[in-house]
């Protein structure tokens, strides 16, 4: 994670623009003095820089929830703030130079909003969940130029590595997304996708709620797959294979193909390792044979005017509200010049979203972006609106 270890934090007059980076306001954690968020925008993206002071070190870094797609934009913003405030940098892992040439050219990296607003539908789509080193994704893309490959990963170094390869190999049919694939599927149009690859997912034996394969994931896959489309799980974990098989077969109607130790066109880094150890490799391939209804999600993310006092809002810190199919947890509360900002996790239990909500002048809004339009989030939003009004 890029960061500047600084001697001492200094505030600046806001809003201010330095080297094309604009700093808007500062939100101070209301419960502890060691944390501040600096609202920043650069190249059309809004995000926070995070200041952490643990008593030993003062670090200026990026806020994980809102970090921009390009790591270069984080570097740029950190350096711009340090320059504006005249910060003394003790140590840093932020390169002073320009963009890495490959990352600069990479426009394959998209934000979730891109898919939410204009899901590409002009080509057949294949999705790879958790592409890791990207060997399989890149191989498939190079060999199938007429298919659009969407690679989803949550591990930043893997994403950067694959973006470089996309540029080097001049691939124009790969889009990359840094997001939880389970949430992503909820906004994919119905009957569009030819294949969904889930190769060597983390088995999460101790935290099963984090597994990619689940009843909901299979249901969503069936909805987004076109007739004849396939969901392809490949795993070396006997436990994960058994769990997945049970989860698939519990559906009243389903078509499955099972293979053991079948070679495929390209072997990933993980696969090479397991083969060396002579482990068995299992494929569970689900073939979708039904057309699904169009995706319909109703509702919006607007709030009523907020009549609650600041005291009431500050007291929400650490509270959890549960309802039938989800929850809201108030993780942190910040004070801004004009009001309060809350960091909440909300939505379904197994796939919550983490978000910021600003409340100023009796108006509440998500900042910097709206939640993903999923059924669970829309329901949680309704409940949040109720909480804000006591
Ligand atoms: C064990 S690795 C396998 C990587 C690659 N498929 C291979 O075969 O080498 C699993 C990958 O899935 C990613 N991952 C785990 N949960 C995910 C999720 N919910 N959405 C997207 N990627 C996820 C992890 O970051 C990790 O890179």
* Residue 271 forms part of a structural domain: yes
- Helices 215-224 and 238-249 pack at an angle, to 10 degrees, of 60
Show which of 92, 115, 143 is a domain's final residue.
Answer: 92
pLDDT of residue 246: 98
Q: State if residue 369 touches ligand 1 by the CB under 6 angstroms criterion.
A: no
**Same domain membership, residue 111 and residue 214:** yes
pLDDT confidence bin for 171, thresholds 50/70/90: very high
* CB-facing half-sphere around the CA of 47: CA atoms within 13 A: 25
| Mean pLDDT, rounded, for 159-166 | 93
* Residue 360 forms part of a structural domain: yes
Nearest Cα residue to atom 12 of ligand 1: 130
Length of the chain: 390
| Mean pLDDT, rounded, for 306-325 | 93
Q: Determine which of 97-101, 122-126, 332-336 has the lowest per-residue pLDDT on average.
A: 97-101
Say if residue 347 is exposed, middle or buried (CB neighbours under 10 Å; 0-12, 13-18, 19+): buried
**Same domain membership, residue 115 and residue 81:** no
| Mean pLDDT, rounded, for 240-268 | 95
**Same domain membership, residue 336 and residue 279:** no
* Residue 248 forms part of a structural domain: yes
Does 97 score more than 80 pLDDT? no
**Same domain membership, residue 356 and residue 260:** no
Q: What's the domain range around 260? A: 102-287
Q: State if residue 235 touches ligand 1 by the CB under 6 angstroms criterion.
A: no
* Residue 251 forms part of a structural domain: yes
Q: State if residue 159 touches ligand 1 by the CB under 6 angstroms criterion.
A: no
Domain count, the chain: 3
Report the C-alpha gap between 278 and 172 in whole angstroms: 37
Contact 368, 47 (CB under 8 A): yes
| Mean pLDDT, rounded, for 327-351 | 93
378 CA to centre of ligand 1 in angstroms: 27
**Same domain membership, residue 353 and residue 275:** no
Does 264 score more than 70 pLDDT? yes
Say if residue 210 is exposed, middle or buried (CB neighbours under 10 Å; 0-12, 13-18, 19+): middle
Mean pLDDT of the chain: 93
| Mean pLDDT, rounded, for 308-327 | 94
* Residue 123 forms part of a structural domain: yes
Q: State if residue 131 touches ligand 1 by the CB under 6 angstroms criterion.
A: yes
127 CA to centre of ligand 1 in angstroms: 13
* Residue 256 forms part of a structural domain: yes
* Residue 305 forms part of a structural domain: no
**Same domain membership, residue 221 and residue 154:** yes
Question: Residue 103's Cα: distance from chain center in Å?
Answer: 19
**Same domain membership, residue 147 and residue 36:** no
pLDDT confidence bin for 106, thresholds 50/70/90: low
Q: State if residue 217 touches ligand 1 by the CB under 6 angstroms criterion.
A: no
pLDDT confidence bin for 98, thresholds 50/70/90: low
**Same domain membership, residue 215 and residue 66:** no
Query: Between 47 and 106, where is the model more confident?
Result: 47
Mutate to test the pocket of ligand 1, among 184, 201, 352 (most ligand atoms within 8 A of CB): 201
Show which of 92, 114, 142 is a domain's final residue.
Answer: 92
**Same domain membership, residue 122 and residue 60:** no
Using alpha carbons, select from 9, 71, 85 the residue that is nearest to residue 42: 71
125 CA to centre of ligand 1 in angstroms: 19
- Residue 38 Cα distances to 4, 11, 13, 344, angstroms: 14, 10, 12, 18
234 CA to centre of ligand 1 in angstroms: 12
pLDDT of residue 359: 97
Using alpha carbons, select from 212, 180, 197 the residue that is nearest to residue 286: 197
Nearest Cα residue to atom 11 of ligand 1: 130
| Mean pLDDT, rounded, for 342-360 | 92
Q: What is the dihedral of CA 319, 312, 25, 28, to 10 degrees?
A: -60
Q: In CATH, what number is assigned to the domain containing residue 111? A: 3.40.50.150
Residue 124: enclosing H or E segment and its boundaries?
strand 124-129
Return the SS3 of 175: strand
- Residue 78 Cα distances to 16, 54, 105, 372, angstroms: 14, 19, 22, 27
**Same domain membership, residue 45 and residue 170:** no
Report the C-alpha gap between 329 and 347 in whole angstroms: 10
Q: State if residue 129 touches ligand 1 by the CB under 6 angstroms criterion.
A: yes
| Mean pLDDT, rounded, for 65-87 | 91
Return the SS3 of 329: strand
Does 350 score more than 80 pLDDT? no
Query: Could you give the residue ranges of the DSSP H alpha helices within the chain?
Result: 71-85, 101-105, 112-117, 135-143, 156-168, 181-184, 215-224, 238-249, 269-276, 310-314, 375-388
Does 104 score more than 70 pLDDT? no
Nearest Cα residue to atom 13 of ligand 1: 130
Return the SS3 of 28: strand
| Mean pLDDT, rounded, for 220-236 | 97
Q: State if residue 201 touches ligand 1 by the CB under 6 angstroms criterion.
A: yes
How are beta strands 339-347 and 58-62 bridged, if at all?
unpaired
Does 374 score more than 60 pLDDT? yes
The tens digit of pLDDT for each residue in 10-50 reads 999 999 999 999 999 999 999 998 999 999 999 888 999 99
**Same domain membership, residue 338 and residue 243:** no
265 CA to centre of ligand 1 in angstroms: 19
Show which of 41, 63, 92 is a domain's final residue.
Answer: 92
CB count, 10 Å around CB of 267?
16
Q: State if residue 270 touches ligand 1 by the CB under 6 angstroms criterion.
A: yes
Nearest Cα residue to atom 27 of ligand 1: 132
Phi, psi of 69 (to 5 degrees): -60, -40
132 CA to centre of ligand 1 in angstroms: 6
Does 53 score more than 60 pLDDT? yes
Q: State if residue 204 touches ligand 1 by the CB under 6 angstroms criterion.
A: no
pLDDT of residue 345: 97
**Same domain membership, residue 177 and residue 38:** no
CB count, 10 Å around CB of 249?
10
Nearest Cα residue to atom 23 of ligand 1: 130
How are beta strands 124-129 and 147-153 bridged, if at all?
parallel
Q: State if residue 234 touches ligand 1 by the CB under 6 angstroms criterion.
A: no
Query: Between 183 and 261, where is the model more confident?
Result: 261
Mutate to test the pocket of ligand 1, among 130, 132, 267 (most ligand atoms within 8 A of CB): 130
* Residue 295 forms part of a structural domain: no
């Amino acid at each position: 994670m890029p960061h500047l270890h600084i001697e001492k934090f200094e505030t600046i007059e806001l809003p201010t623009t330095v080297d094309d980076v604009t700093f808007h306001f500062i939100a101070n954690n209301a419960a502890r003095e060691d944390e501040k968020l600096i609202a920043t925008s650069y190249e059309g993206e809004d995000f926070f820089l995070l200041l952490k002071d643990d008593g030993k070190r003062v670090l200026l870094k990026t806020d994980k929830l809102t970090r921009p797609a390009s790591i270069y934009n984080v570097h740029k913003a950190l350096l711009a703030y340090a320059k504006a405030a005249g910060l003394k940098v003790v140590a840093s892992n932020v390169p002073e130079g320009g963009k890495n040439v490959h990352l600069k050219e990479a426009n394959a990296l998209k934000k979730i909003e891109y898919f939410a607003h204009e899901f590409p539908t002009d080509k057949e789509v294949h999705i790879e969940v958790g592409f890791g080193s990207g060997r399989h994704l890149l191989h498939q893309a190079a060999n199938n130029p007429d298919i659009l490959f969407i690679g989803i990963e949550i591990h930043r170094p893997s994403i950067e590595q694959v973006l470089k390869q996309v540029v080097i190999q001049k691939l124009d049919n790969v889009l990359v997304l840094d997001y939880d694939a389970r949430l992503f599927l909820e906004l994919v149009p119905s009957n569009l996708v030819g294949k969904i690859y889930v190769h060597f997912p983390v088995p999460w034996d101790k935290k099963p709620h984090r597994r990619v394969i689940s009843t909901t994931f299979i249901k969503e896959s069936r909805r987004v797959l076109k007739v004849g489309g396939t969901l392809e799980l490949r795993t070396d974990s006997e436990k994960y294979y058994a769990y997945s098989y049970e989860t698939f077969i519990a559906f009243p109607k389903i078509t499955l193909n099972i293979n053991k130790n079948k070679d495929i066109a390209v072997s990933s880094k993980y696969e090479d390792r397991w083969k060396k150890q002579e482990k068995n490799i299992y494929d569970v391939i689900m073939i979708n044979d039904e057309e699904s209804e169009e995706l319909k999600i109703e509702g919006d993310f607007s709030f009523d005017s907020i009549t609650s006092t600041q005291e009431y809002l500050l007291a929400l810190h650490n509270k959890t509200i549960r309802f039938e199919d989800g929850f809201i947890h108030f993780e942190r509360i910040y004070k801004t010049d004009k009001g309060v900002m809350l960091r909440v996790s909300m939505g379904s239990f197994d796939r919550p979203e983490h978000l910021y909500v600003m409340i100023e002048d009796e108006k509440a809004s998500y900042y910097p972006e709206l939640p993903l339009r999923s059924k669970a989030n829309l329901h949680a939003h309704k409940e949040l609106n109720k909480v804000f009004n006591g």
